[in-house]
Amino acid sequence: MSLFPQMSESELLVMEIVWRANGNITSAQIIEQLEPDTGWKPSTVWTFLGRLVDKGFLRAERSGKRSFYFPNLSKEEYRQAQTKAFLQTVHGGSVKSFFAALSGDNELNAEELEELKTWLLRETGGDKP
């Protein structure tokens, strides 16, 4: 399935900040960015950072009294891994089942279906719609 476990919503908020910073960000900078929206205390953020390091999402490097955090995978790599895990778990690995579920309730309009068809043809090397 996935090389990485799933992140909680709170952990994902922390990772979003690290990804935006392209790594090399301190816990103080992360706390500063999270505090206005979450109201989290520094100890809460440190807990999430520790969990993310333990799960393998982040790497921490100490420099003096500060720790710098670096992502071990990109946002796109995480998205792909979680999507593959979801596809396997919920749809038994069947892309057809996944798309049938999306279109079953007419959630995809004609324009979205055409865009998807164009993308699938390009990805599979097909040239006919």
Average model confidence (pLDDT) for the chain?
Answer: 86
> Looking at residue 94, which CATH number applies to its domain?
1.10.4040
Separation between Cα atoms, residue 35 and residue 83, nearest integer Å: 30
pLDDT tens column, 87-101: 888 888 887 777 777
Q: Can you give the length of the chain in residues?
A: 129
| Average pLDDT over every residue of 27-38 | 96
Both 17 and 34 in a single domain? yes
Q: How far is CA 68 from CA 5, 47, 75, 92, in A?
A: 22, 15, 18, 39
What pTM was computed for the model? 0.74
Both 48 and 36 in a single domain? yes
Residue spans of alpha helices (H) in 56-94: 75-91
- Please list, in sequence order, all residues whose beta carbon lies within 8 angstroms of the beta carbon of residue 94, skipping any fewer than 6 positions away: 87
> Looking at residue 21, which CATH number applies to its domain?
1.10.10.10
Minimum mean pLDDT range among 95-99, 110-114, 123-127: 123-127
pLDDT tens column, 61-70: 999 999 999 9
Q: Which of the pair, 5 or 108, is modelled with greater confidence?
A: 5
Q: Are 15 and 49 in contact (CB under 8 A)?
A: no
